[in-house]
Amino acid sequence: MPLELLLALVLGGISGIAVLLHLTGRSRLAVLSAETARTGWLRHFPGDKISKVLPAASGQAVLVLTEGGPGLLWVFGADTVGRRLAESKIRETATGLRFEFNDFAAPGLSLPLSDGERLQWLALISPPEEAA
């Protein structure tokens, strides 16, 4: 097959499928509740015992507290991904929190949170007695 034709087929095919999927609503993000967050976290970490889940008001992420420490579950397209926060760097931003996971397969995540949520999450991620 001539390279030009192959290139046109590939580019046209990818573009056409992308447009079709987007226009038919396949770009919608999942929305997390406390219940779906528990299920979602245990799907990624089936051996964990969850003590508390705190969904963000946006429904795009959930702080999960487990016996092994805090973790973050967030929306990834129509699905979710989760990471433990023990080795993560977390900093405050103007709109919420920024998470760096030290993981090439999980680039940093900027999460919009209200001031109240941000303070509550930070307190739960790093309780004062642990931070001391």
Partner 1 sequence: MTGDISYPDATQLAVPFFIAAILAEFLWIALMRRGGRYETRDAVTSLIMGAGSVAEGLLLGFIAWGFLMTLWQLTPLDMGTSIWAVLACFVLDDLRYYWVHRFGHRVRWVWASHVNHHSSQHYNLTTALRQTWTGTFTFMMVVKAPMVLLGFHPALVLFCGGLNLIYQFWIHTEAVTRLPRWFEAVMNTPSHHRAHHGRNPRYLDCNYAGVFIIWDRMFGTFVPEQNHDRPDYGLVHNIATFNPLRVAFHEWIGIFQDMAQPGLTWKQRLLYAIAPPGYSHDGSRDTSAGIKAAHLARHPEDAGTPGFGG
The footprint of partner 1 (CB under 8 A) covers 1, 6, 9-10, 13-14, 16-18, 20-22, 24, 26-27, 43-44, 46-47, 74, 76-79, 81-83, 101, 103-107, 109
Output the smallest distance, CB 12 to partner 1, in A: 8
Residues whose CB falls within 8 Å of the CB of residue 71, separated by 6 or more in sequence, listed in order: 41, 45, 48, 63, 64, 65, 82, 83, 84, 85
Pairing verdict, β 61-66 and 89-92: unpaired
Strand order in the sheet with 61-66: 50-55, 61-66, 69-76, 79-84
Pick between residue 86 and residue 94 the one whose CB is nearest to partner 1: 86
Smallest gap from residue 46 Cβ to partner 1 (A): 7
Say how far apart CA 72 and CA 50 lie, in whole Å.
Answer: 12
Identify which of residues 54 and 81 has a Cβ nearer to partner 1 in the complex.
Answer: 81
Closest CB to partner 1 among residues 78, 119: 78
70 or 82, CB closer to partner 1? Answer: 82
- In the structure encoding, which two tokens stand for residue 62, read together? 């959930």
- E strand or H helix that includes residue 47: none
Least distance to partner 1, CB of residue 31, Å: 14
User: C-beta of 128: minimal distance to partner 1 in Å?
Assistant: 28
